[in-house]
Amino acid sequence: MQPQPVTANVPLFETINVSKAFGGFKALSDISFSVRADEFVSIVGPNGAGKTTLVNVVTGLLRPTSGEVRFLGRDISGVGPVELARLGMSRAFQLVNIFPALTVRETLAVAIASRLRRASNPFRSLKRDGVLQADAERVADVLGLRSKLDKVASTLSQGEKKLLDIASAFALNPAVILLDEPTSGVSTADKHVIMEVLVEAARAAGIRAIVQVEHDMDLVERYSHRIVALQGGSLLADMAPRAFFADPAMIAAVVGTRAKL
Amino acid sequence: MSHSSIEIAPPATLRRTMSLNGIGVLLALIVVMALLPFVASPYVLLLMLPFVGYGIALLGFNLLFGTTGLLSFGHALFLGVGAYTAAVFTSKLSILSFEIILVVSALLSGLIALLIGALCVRYTKIFFGMLTLAFGMLFHSFLYKFYAVTGGDQGMRVLRPLLLGMEWRGGKTAFLTGPFYYYTLVLFAGMGLAMWRITQSPFGLHLRAIRENAGKAAYVGVEIFRMRLSAFVISAIYGGIGGVILAVTTGLADPELAYWTHSGNLVFMAVLGGSGTFAGPAIGALAFVMLQDFVMAITQYWRFVMGGILVLLVVFMPRGLAGTVELLLSRRGREA
């Protein structure tokens, strides 16, 4: 299902006064922010600020205690991952998250088969499905995995696994993609390669917005259009990178000192 | 832009032609079995019939275990459903058509799987195993205690069915090793081909994705519950049909067929043959049937010996017979 077109001023998705409590612990309080078309938004904050909780709420893994999450004008609080994928929001995870025994081609085919609704007939051939196979190759091309199509995922390098994880999120043709530390656990040299591939691929694949959680301030500064900073579960800032990095107080609040991580 | 920084050395390639992980091995086995009546004694042929029954059941069992990653300890329930359907139809209802019995037991097994699967597949690992075990035991108690309906520990007789609407003359052995043998062999090949298609479909791919990483699968749109339940139902249908063949072969539907140790035997066969390959579990069924026959002939402590073999197997051949052969072949392929 293709997402509905949206005008530039209507947010692709937004959270409205979202709070999330785990027992007595308030992980998020009253967070409102929005993401518009063609934006690359970074969510930053020290450990325990609530970044991952926010992504989990936004992607329907957790239901907010109060408040609303809207995607393309529709309340999606707690809809669950399958419905979310169908609506056009996909997610890649902080830790490498692959199907170890499947090849790159098969991994992409899993996502494409769900998007094309191919999985309900158990007697349909996977190999002879030209549309599905061509699409797997297209996505692999976009993320530079073409030469790895028939490699088993567990034999890939760490950087390639990360790309594969992201590629399978891309294969859903989402409107918005959420990346939880897309470069964590990857060497510094690979980080920039991955980010370059990612941004280029998102453009080529027609993804309308990227939201990432990121610790590496170099990457945040270089790629974001906007920074959403969290501290202790509350919204600290929602501003352009230039303004953010010009404010020593902001940087100190988020990373202590401006050290490279 | 260069991707050189994330290149890795290519891993040694597996030779596809040497793979046991195809339908070819199973079909070759079936062809050999088709030629067997020309050379083998009726005793051997009679031994092949339980293999066909278990082979079909194991194809289904492995869709659940090997492909989807769900280990059932109650799968004998469906063999029981098939066996008792054959018994009720032939000896109570006097409906002797083998085709009707097959269709009804498939439908019944599928329906029962739909009902209990709706609960069981919400859980995985040991919880799934325990729930399936519990349902298996419930069904066994039902067969055992409802004497009036099921004959209790006596079981129920299964009369000779009509194949393709025809009555076959001759003694029991002539029937079983002749028309019935070939009939079930064709059924085995057909159900093997159907299962092969299932594993090679996008549906089968989604099942493998669930086995590999269910959390991620959900995020790429895989409907976990629906897929697991479908796999459960399909595996039950295969179990039911396998049960019909077993019951016709012995002429008896016995509550032991649905007992939990019988479920354990199914797991044994899958592990023995190797659940990681397509034909492995069927090969495991063959090895199990022959091994059991051999060991039972030499000692009354055959369960003890079979247990010992299982221990050795898990320790030294965790991929089972087919998996080990495949590993050896791929090693040789790499050296060559």
Q: Residue B335: its pLDDT value, please? A: 61
Give the residue-averaged pLDDT of B278-295: 90
pLDDT reported for residue B185: 96
Query: How far is B89 from B240, CA to CA, in rounded Å?
Result: 14
What's residue B321's pLDDT?
85
What pLDDT score does A8 carry? 52
Q: Give dist(CA B220, CA A92) in Å, integer.
A: 10
Query: Structure tokens of A89?
Result: 């929001």
For the ranges A192-196, B25-29, B99-103, B257-261, the maximum mean pLDDT occurs at B99-103
The predicted model gives B175-185 an average pLDDT of 93
Residue B13 and residue A25: Cα distance in Å, rounded? 51
Paired tokens of B208:
């493998």
- Segment among B168-182, B270-284, B315-329 with least mean pLDDT: B315-329
Contact (CB<8Å) A118/B202: yes
Instruction: Judge whether A95 is closer than 8 Å to chain B, CB to CB.
Output: no
Residue B224 resides in a domain:
yes
Measure in Å the smallest separation between the Cα of A124 and chain B Cα atoms. Answer: 5
Give me the pLDDT at residue B21, please.
67
Contact criterion met (CB below 8 Å) for B202 and A119? yes
Q: Is the pLDDT of residue A1 over 50?
A: no
The whole-number pLDDT of residue B237 equals: 98
Q: Of A93, A104, A106, A126, which to mutate for an interface test with B (greatest number of B Cβ within 10 Å)?
A: A126
Question: With 50 as the cut, is the pLDDT of residue A258 above it?
Answer: no
What is the pLDDT confidence band of residue B150, given thresholds at 50, 70 and 90?
A: confident
How confident is the model over A176-200, as a mean pLDDT? 81
Give the pLDDT confidence score for residue B336 in this predicted structure.
53
Mean pLDDT, all residues of chain A: 85
CB contact under 8 Å between A163 and B6, yes or no, is: yes
In this complex, do B11 and A151 lie within 8 Å of one another by their Cβ atoms?
Answer: yes
Listed in sequence order, the residues at least 6 apart from B97 whose beta carbon sits closer than 8 Å to its beta carbon are: B161, B162, B165
All residues of chain A having their beta carbon less than 8 Å from the beta carbon of residue B208 are 99, 101-102, 106
CB contacts of B3 in chain A (<8 Å) are: 144, 193, 197
In angstroms, what CA-CA distances link B152 with B93, B139, B249?
18, 12, 20
Contact (Cβ atoms closer than 8 angstroms) between residue B132 and residue B72: yes
Could you tell me which residue, A181 or A6, shows the higher pLDDT? Answer: A181
A174 shares contact with chain B (CB less than 8 Å): no
Q: For residue B300, what are its two tokens?
A: 């009354």
CA distance B168 to chain A (A): 35
Assess whether pLDDT exceeds 70 at residue A230. yes
Domain total in chain B: 1
Report whether pLDDT(A21) > 50. Answer: yes
The mean pLDDT of B173-200, rounded to a whole number, is: 94
B223/A127 CB distance under 8 A: no
pLDDT in tens, A118-176: 888 899 988 888 899 999 999 998 888 999 999 999 999 888 888 898 889 889 988 88
Exposure string over B176-210, b if 16+ CB within 10 A, otherwise e: bbebbbebbbebbbebbeebbbbbbbbbbbbbbbb
For residue B291, give the nearest of B279, B303, B280, B275 by alpha carbon.
B303
Q: State residue A256's pLDDT score.
A: 62
Residue from the list A114, A159, A189 with its beta carbon closest to the beta carbon of B221: A114
Instruction: Please state the domain extents for chain A.
Output: 37-52+79-254
Instruction: Answer whether B293's CB lies under 8 Å from B47's CB.
Output: yes
Per-residue pLDDT reduced to its tens digit, B22-76: 888 899 999 999 999 999 899 999 999 999 999 999 999 999 999 999 999 999 9
**Which residues in B131-248 belong to E strands, given as ranges?**
156-157
pLDDT at B186 over 70: yes
Q: What percent of chain A has pLDDT over 90?
A: 19
pLDDT of residue B45: 92
**Structure confidence at residue B4 (pLDDT):** 38
Residues in chain B, total: 336
Q: Which positions 26-55 of A are in contact with B (Cβ < 8 Å)?
A: none
pLDDT of residue A259: 44
Q: How many pairs of residues across A and B have Cβ atoms under 8 Å apart?
A: 134
Whether residues A126 and B204 touch (CB distance < 8 A) is answered with yes
The predicted model scores a pTM of: 0.87
Task: For residues A176-184, give the mean pLDDT.
Answer: 83
| B62-110 pLDDT tens trace | 999 999 999 999 999 999 999 999 999 999 998 999 999 999 999 999 9
CB of A128 within 8 A of CB of A118? no
**A129, B215: Cβ pair inside 8 Å?**
no
Provide the pLDDT confidence category of residue B330 given band limits of 50, 70 and 90: confident
Residue B20 has pLDDT above 70, yes or no: no
CA-based nearest distance B319→chain A, Å: 15
**A4 has pLDDT over 50:** no
Residue B7 has pLDDT above 50, yes or no: no
Is residue B151 pLDDT above 60, yes or no?
A: yes
Quick check: A149 contacting B, CB < 8 Å?
Answer: no
Question: Cβ contacts (< 8 Å) between A96 and chain B: which residues?
Answer: none
CB contact under 8 A, A86 and B221: yes
Alpha-carbon gap, residue A157 to A162, rounded angstroms: 9
Is domain A37-52+79-254 given the CATH code 3.40.50.1820 in the classification? no
CA angle A50, A52, A53 (to 5 degrees): 60
Strand, helix or coil at A74? strand
B244 lies in which domain range? Answer: 43-259
Name which of B178, B139, B157 is nearest B253 in CA terms.
Answer: B157
Distance CA B329, CA B14 (A): 9
Give the pLDDT confidence score for residue A253 in this predicted structure: 82
Q: Which of A117, A92, A90, A56 is nearest to A195 (CA)?
A: A92
pLDDT tens per residue across span B206-250: 999 999 999 899 989 999 999 999 999 999 999 999 999 999 999
What is the number of other CB atoms lying within 10 angstroms of the CB of residue B91?
A: 15
B169 within some domain? yes
Phi, psi of A74 (to 5 degrees): -125, 140
Structure confidence at residue B187 (pLDDT): 97
* pLDDT of amino acid B10: 38
Q: Which residue has the higher pLDDT, B205 or A59?
A: B205
Of the candidates A100, A110, A132, the beta carbon closest to that of B220 is on A110
Q: Which residues of A touch B194 (CB under 8 A)?
A: 123
Distance CA A213, CA A211 (A): 7
Residues of chain B whose beta carbon is less than 8 angstroms from a beta carbon of chain A are 1-3, 5-8, 10-11, 194, 197-198, 200-206, 208-209, 212-213, 215-224, 227, 230, 234
Distance, CA of B47 to CA of A259 (rounded, Å): 73
Question: Crossing angle, helix B224-250 and helix B76-87, to 10 degrees?
Answer: 50
A121 and B201 within 8 Å at the Cβ level: the answer is: yes
Q: Name the A residues in 101-130 with CB < 8 Å from any B CB.
A: 101-102, 106-107, 109-111, 113-115, 118-127, 129
Buried b (16+ CB within 10 A) or exposed e, B19-45: bbbebebbbebbeebeebbeeeeeeeb
Strand partners, A90: A177
From chain A residues 181-210, the ones with a CB under 8 A of any chain B CB are 187, 189-190, 193, 196-197, 200
Mean pLDDT (chain B) is 88
pLDDT of A23 higher than 90 = no
Confidence of residue A6 (pLDDT cuts 50, 70, 90): very low
